[in-house]
Chains A and B, each alone.
Chain A
Amino acid sequence: MSNLLEVNKVIKQYGDYVALNEVSLTVPKGSIYGLLGPNGAGKTSLIRIINQITLPDSGEIILDGEKLQPKHVQYIGYLPEERGLYTSMKVGEQCLYLAQMKGLSKSEATKQLNYWFDRLGIQGWWNKKIQELSKGMAQKIQFVVCVLHKPKLLIFDEPFSGFDPVNANIIKDEILALRDEGATIIFSTHRMESVEELCDHIALIHKSNKLIEGKLDTVKREYKTNSFEVGILSSNVEQLMYALTQKFTVSPANFKSLNNELKLAVQIGNATPNELLNILTQQGQVTHFVEKIPTVNDIFIQAVSQ
């Protein structure tokens, strides 16, 4: 079984509004799966269906080879975008309560909680009330609640919002560690740089439909435009430009460099990079030659605006 989660043709309607239109996803085991999409695309609806908070109108969900059923709640850890805890309850008690609801025994929950509090260095918070903690501190507690019962599938909805850079880094490292321990992670976010950094698979949902899905590098390969960024020191710019525009589409480029060279973006179409290099080396000194790989941000914007 290589896929932990399979979503098959899920439809969800609220009245006349279609929130999910035959959406299918495949989340491989051990992956960090980025679920992307603009606001109101249907991400939260899908996440709620996976968490069995709501039911789909049609379609099915397979978790670890079994049809999704109530007992599966203990295999899933969920960090919702809207964070919240009982403000007047003590941290330790609250975590134990929420862990027990996920099916952990009290002693097991205490053991796990001690482990995590030690690991994050927050043992002293045990008897504090949530209302005495800062927002970032409460977020940390929420993260612990989410992972306490060692879920196979972790669903993080905007996990870094509300964290300062130091704590965001701590959480990022914890997420990677959890992946290394065998957990599968679904990661819903707008922050493309963290997707770039963490995810190995992505899916893009837009207006209730899935637009893109796949391994991150496969998707990038699909979306690359065969463009190169070129820096060249040339004595005869006019001749260079003439030679290039004969074969390729050329536009000015902008990148950081130490030399005062000519900066160009060249789209080579079906030609090979070597053909471009040949022309360049004939005309001057090449200082910069990089294939333009689309960022997730580019892909996102391109797919959504299509």
Chain B
Amino acid sequence: MSIISLIIKREFVAKVRNKSFIVMTFLSPLLFVAIIAFIAYLSSMKADTKEIAIHDESGLFVKEFTTKNKDDDAYKYIDLSTTAVNALKDSITKERYEGLLIIPQSSEISDLETKIQFVSNSSPSIVFIEQIQKTVANKITKINLYKANLDTLAIQNAQSKVNISLAKASGEQSVKGVNEIKIAIGGGFGYLIMMFIIIYGNMVMRSVIEEKTNRIIEIIISSVKPFQLMIGKIIGTSLAGILQFFIWAVIGLSIMFAASMFFGVNVGSATKMPPELMSEAQMQITNTAQLYITELWNLPIATILIGFVVYFIGGYFLYSSFYAAIGAAVDNQTDSQQFLIPIIMPLMLSVYVGFFSVINDPHGTIAVVFSMIPLTSPIVMLMRIPFGVPLWQIAISVTLLFATFFAVVWFAAKIYRVGILMYGKKPSWKELYRWLKYTG
């Protein structure tokens, strides 16, 4: 057995046998399900209805509020136009009402645009205020139209709603919202890579620090080259990680399968309805669903999967080399913080770029540039691929990634080689630079 595979095997076995690894592997999916269930439970609970007092001296708007918002559970408007304003303000301070809307008497209706007041102890949400503004503005517009002798009904009829349907040049019909699916797929894979790098990169680092604090390192590198040890460690740890993800996937799929079996019964009873009773709306939903499915099948699935594997390997190896070098440079985990920040930053950045720039403009300058930079490309490019990326861009990005990977492994191995034999010193960046220049 070659030395590297020997090291890989040991690292893998050491990780997999670790109690926390076993616990995490089987507990995480349960925890995940529990969190989802908890969120679902929370969101199913109804929020308390808040009561808002309206003091409408003009008498023009109170109806708009009391009638219009009947369906809205969150807020209930109470007409208190006859009560004195000061008394109402008192009841606000006593928290009898959540808020008080004061609409003064005014001869000119346009004066009201700026004179309406909302009194509240707590600061109301922007959405809520906008809702009030919209209601008032609509009413004022209506009154203005009426005053100008315009037929409000005719205007209402003249307004149109536009619904653009998307299609590709190849003639297939597209569905709206498919971009969200694309970003979700790309984002999901990108996020997976980021999580993997952070979790297992840290594991690599801890394992390097462990060898240093155990002082076994000297025995090991009297038998193997530090580079072999580093590569073996990175691969062994990643295999353990892949096994963990695989188990999670199996557990996740079984839970999903179990869930669909459970819900499948309900779906079955619904389809037993005679076809003529199926409403047109339901037919439409089925059609849309079919469109989504075709759209999904039209995604460059092969490119996405191959891209995922390639960027996963490149990205993970690149970052783990950093982690290994940091582990070698420090004596304990607390010292590693100053070196970890520059590693976490590009990872965070790529997720932000992915969710803000790529979703806005998948082929814009920012998205393209960040999908080329090796530290961010594994995540950003994966998010772009579902939108269709020209092959030459992928080629450049992958080449850059792997070129950087080899350079970083080389540098990391140098720091690693010097660092693993250094004890008791908390190195500075300057020191690390000096280590790079050591020959032996």
Measured CB to CB, the residues of A under 8 A from B are 12, 14-15, 48-49, 51-57, 70, 73, 76, 78, 80, 82-89, 97-98, 100-102, 106, 142, 145
> Contact string, B6-50, partner A, CB cutoff 8 A, digits 1/0?
110010001000100000000000000000000000000000000
B222 touches A53 (CB 8 A): yes
> Contact string, B206-236, partner A, CB cutoff 8 A, digits 1/0?
0000110011111111111100000000000
A53 touches B214 (CB 8 A): no
Residues of A within 8 A of B224 (CB): 73, 101
- Contacts A97-B10, A100-B1, A101-B223: A86 and B439 contacting too (C-beta < 8 A)? no
Residues of B in contact with A, size category: 20 to 34
A85 touches B439 (CB 8 A): no
A98 touches B219 (CB 8 A): yes
A14 touches B438 (CB 8 A): yes
- Nearest residue (CB) in B for A90 is B17
From A12, A15, A48, A101, contact of B220 by CB (8 A): A101
- Contacts A56-B440, A57-B440: A85 and B214 contacting too (C-beta < 8 A)? yes
B223 touches A98 (CB 8 A): yes
Residues of A within 8 A of B217 (CB): 84
- Nearest residue (CB) in B for A142 is B219
CB distance from A105 to the nearest CB of B (A): 9
Residues of A within 8 A of B309 (CB): none
By Cβ-Cβ distance, the 6 closest A-B pairs, closest first, are A84-B215, A55-B440, A84-B216, A54-B440, A101-B223, A51-B222
> Contact string, B368-387, partner A, CB cutoff 8 A, digits 1/0?
00000000000000000000
Residues of A within 8 A of B220 (CB): 98, 101
B214 touches A76 (CB 8 A): no
Is B293 interfacial (CB-CB < 8 Å)?
Answer: no
A86 touches B14 (CB 8 A): yes
Residues of A within 8 A of B440 (CB): 12, 49, 54-57
Question: Do most interface residues of chain A lie in helix, strand or loop, or is the interface mixed?
Answer: loop
- Contacts A15-B434, A57-B439, A97-B10: A80 and B223 contacting too (C-beta < 8 A)? no
- Contacts A84-B215, A87-B214, A100-B6: A52 and B434 contacting too (C-beta < 8 A)? no
B219 touches A78 (CB 8 A): yes
Tell me the bound Cα distance from A48 to B439 in angstroms. 14
CB distance from B427 to the nearest CB of A (A): 13
B439 touches A84 (CB 8 A): no
CB distance from B208 to the nearest CB of A (A): 13
- Nearest residue (CB) in A for B221 is A53
Residues of B within 8 A of A80 (CB): 215, 218-219, 222
Residues of A within 8 A of B222 (CB): 51-53, 73, 76, 78, 80
A101 touches B6 (CB 8 A): yes
CB distance from B49 to the nearest CB of A (A): 58
Tell me the bound Cα distance from A151 to B216 in angstroms. 19
Tell me the bound Cα distance from A76 to B222 in angstroms. 9
B10 touches A82 (CB 8 A): no
Residues of B within 8 A of A82 (CB): 215, 218
B214 touches A84 (CB 8 A): yes
CB distance from B418 to the nearest CB of A (A): 9
B218 touches A53 (CB 8 A): yes
Known: A85-B214, A97-B10, A98-B223. 7 other contacts (CB 8 A): A73-B223, A78-B218, A78-B219, A85-B216, A86-B214, A88-B18, A145-B219
- Nearest residue (CB) in B for A85 is B216
Is B3 interfacial (CB-CB < 8 Å)?
Answer: yes
CB distance from B187 to the nearest CB of A (A): 38
Residues of A within 8 A of B223 (CB): 73, 98, 101-102
Residues of A within 8 A of B14 (CB): 86, 88-89
Residues of A within 8 A of B225 (CB): 70
Is B132 interfacial (CB-CB < 8 Å)?
Answer: no
Is B421 interfacial (CB-CB < 8 Å)?
Answer: yes
Tell me the bound Cα distance from A13 to B166 in angstroms. 70
- Contacts A51-B222, A56-B440, A57-B439: A83 and B215 contacting too (C-beta < 8 A)? yes
B216 touches A86 (CB 8 A): yes
Tell me the bound Cα distance from A97 to B9 in angstroms. 10
- Name the interface residues of B324-380: CB closer than 8 Å to any CB of A: none
Tell me the bound Cα distance from A106 to B222 in angstroms. 19
CB distance from B237 to the nearest CB of A (A): 15
Tell me the bound Cα distance from A86 to B222 in angstroms. 16
24 A-B pairs (CB sep. < 8 Å): A48-B421, A49-B440, A52-B222, A53-B421, A54-B421, A54-B440, A57-B440, A70-B225, A73-B222, A73-B223, A73-B224, A76-B222, A80-B222, A84-B216, A84-B219, A85-B219, A86-B211, A86-B214, A86-B216, A88-B18, A98-B220, A100-B6, A102-B223, A145-B219
CB distance from A164 to the nearest CB of B (A): 21
Tell me the bound Cα distance from A301 to B3 in angstroms. 45
Residues of A within 8 A of B10 (CB): 97
Residues of B within 8 A of A53 (CB): 218, 221-222, 421
